[in-house]
Structure 1
Amino acid sequence: MDSGVRAMVDAVGEARRQLRENALPKARDTSREKVPETEEAALLGALAALVESAGELAYAVADRISPDNSEAYVHAYRRLEREARNLRDEERKANGRTK
């Protein structure tokens, strides 16, 4: 595998591992208290940044992918960009509610 591609695959894999090992157990722990409203915006912002980064990666490699697959990367970028915007909108709303 091309070393650049290996680095991308490894970075995405590491991000996934970190989420699964560190964030998801805390999110799934039903004995934990509810997320304070003052902290909701921070979580929305973090999720938005993650989705934005995934979209940027898809877009950055789209022109290096075979024509048979490049359209999938562009579509993924557009969908991820749209979802990141939705998360950013909700982040702004959450920030507005706590001021």
Structure 2
Amino acid sequence: MDSGIRAMVDAVDEARRQLRENALPKAKDRGRDKVPAVEAAVMLGELADLVEVAGELAAALSDRMATHESPEFYRLAGVRLRDEAGHLREAEQRVAKRVG
């Protein structure tokens, strides 16, 4: 595996691991208090950032794919992820607007 690809795979794997080990258990902990509305808006923004950068990575990789179909798969994944990041940003703004 080319060193650039290895670095990307490692970075994505580390982000996934951090989320699974640190964030997800806290989100699933039913004993915790409800998330205040202001913090809910912040979390939506952070999720939007995460999804957006995943979309940027997928789109950037589309030009580097060697198989016939892969560039389109990566390009489409990038579009969909960026679209979803936009939905999260809209939700963030709506929540932030409600809480003032």
* Same structural fold, with TM-score higher than 0.5 when normalized by the shorter chain: yes
Alpha-carbon distance in 2 for matches of 1:47, 1:38 = 15
User: Does residue 19 of the first structure (1) align with residue 11 of the second (2)?
Assistant: no
Determine the structure 2 residue equivalent to 1:32.
32
Alpha-carbon distance in 2 for matches of 1:86, 1:61 = 23
Identity %: 59
Deviations 1:3-52 (A, max 9, x none): 00000000000000000011000000000111111111100000000000
Alpha-carbon distance in 2 for matches of 1:38, 1:50 = 19
Gaps of at least 5 residues in structure 1 are none
User: Does residue 79 of the first structure (1) align with residue 76 of the second (2)?
Assistant: no
Alpha-carbon distance in 1 for matches of 2:75, 2:24 = 28
Gaps of at least 5 residues in structure 2 are none
Alpha-carbon distance in 2 for matches of 1:83, 1:96 = 20
Determine the structure 1 residue equivalent to 2:56.
56
**TM-score where L is the length of structure 2:** 0.96
Determine the structure 2 residue equivalent to 1:90.
91
Matched residue SS, 1:30: coil
Shift of 1:68: 2.2
**What do you get for the CA RMSD once the two structures are aligned?**
0.6
**TM-score where L is the length of structure 1:** 0.97
Once superposed, which parts of structure 1, at least 4 consecutive aligned residues long, lie more than 2 Å away?
none
